[in-house]
Amino acid sequence: METPSPAIDSEILRAVWRALLPKHVAVEVEGYSTSAQPGAALEQAAAVAMQDTRRLEFLSGRRCARKALVALGREPSDIPVAVDRGPQWPEGIVGSITHTLGRGGGWASAAVGLVARVSALGIDMEYCDALDTRALDVVLTRSERSYLMNIPVALRAREGGLIWCAKEAALKAVRGISEPSEVEIVLSKSGEWFRASKRPELSGAGREEWAFEGRTSYNGGYAFAAAFR
């Protein structure tokens, strides 16, 4: 097992997610582990074809998800890959998995809830020092780029990470669109919450419209976001 970043530990991660997520959502975290094993046949089949790094994050994330299901009072079911490439959750469950590499190692987190209590759920965690600014230029909307250009340079990596996280969390919650550039994020002045919506120019003309709020946090060089309703 690789040593996680000294700036973050499991207790800090749990505290961050507990502050961002509703009380009725279960969340589990752990460092990447080579001892993580796939679940049943469909999960095993997905893992076999993966490269080593992807397999490590996939299996660590799935183990977190099974722990979260147990914490929610459910059986630790197999979680195969759905048609949209996201996790295929057991009936009656909504959930989200995130994993990221930071200084010295990687972390996986999973959050799950009952559909009867939360209809959409997405979480994301990113190590801001590792964000590719060229990718940000591609996925950020015009208004998001304008926002970053009008804040102090020293804050741009953090704020860019929060926007990126919010986009990823929103995509996981909505599940039906796949491009971060399709999502418009507006951060609050405090940086503690965000509003996510489909880019205005992509709405209308019979296209599905959606908008909801989420919560964000920054700790130890990592950006966090949780989207739910």
> What are the residue boundaries of the structural domains of the chain, listed by start?
10-115, 126-228
* Whether the model pTM is above 0.95: no
Contact 118, 228 (CB under 8 A): yes
- Please give the Cα distance from 222 to 98 (Å, whole number): 13
Burial classification of residue 35, based on how many CB atoms lie within 10 Å of its CB (0-12 exposed, 13-18 middle, 19 or more buried) = exposed
| Domain 126-228 class, CATH top level | alpha beta
Q: Which of 66-75, 97-106, 199-208 has the lowest mean pLDDT?
A: 199-208
Rounded Cα–Cα distance for residues 31 and 101 (Å): 10
Q: Which pLDDT score, from 0 to 100, does residue 223 have? A: 93
Rounded to 5 degrees, φ, ψ at 137 are -60, -30
Give the containing element (helix H, strand E) for 126: strand 121-127
**pLDDT digit string, tens, across residues 78-109:** 898 888 888 999 999 999 999 998 876 899 99
Q: How many CB atoms lie within 10 A of CB 11?
A: 9
Tell me the pLDDT band of 177, cut-offs 50, 70 and 90: low
Work out the pLDDT band at 162, boundaries 50, 70, 90. Answer: very high
Place of tokens 């704020």: 159
* Banded model confidence at residue 1, pLDDT cuts 50, 70, 90: very low
Q: Are 112 and 93 a contacting pair, CB within 8 Å?
A: yes
Kindly state the average pLDDT of the residues 30-46.
Answer: 81
The residues near 72 (Cβ < 8 Å, ≥ 6 apart) are 26, 93, 112, 113, 114
Domains 10-115 and 126-228 share a fold: yes
Query: Could you tell me which of 91, 168, 113 has the C-alpha nearest to residue 135?
Result: 168
How is domain 10-115 classified at the CATH fold level?
Ribosomal Protein L22; Chain A (3.90.470)
pLDDT > 90? residue 138:
no
**DSSP conformation letters of 147-203:** HHHTS-HHHHHHHHHHHHHHHHHHHHHH-S---GGGEEEEE-TTSSEEEEEE-GGGS
Q: Which comes out higher in pLDDT, residue 2 or 23? A: 23
Over residues 25-40, mean pLDDT: 86
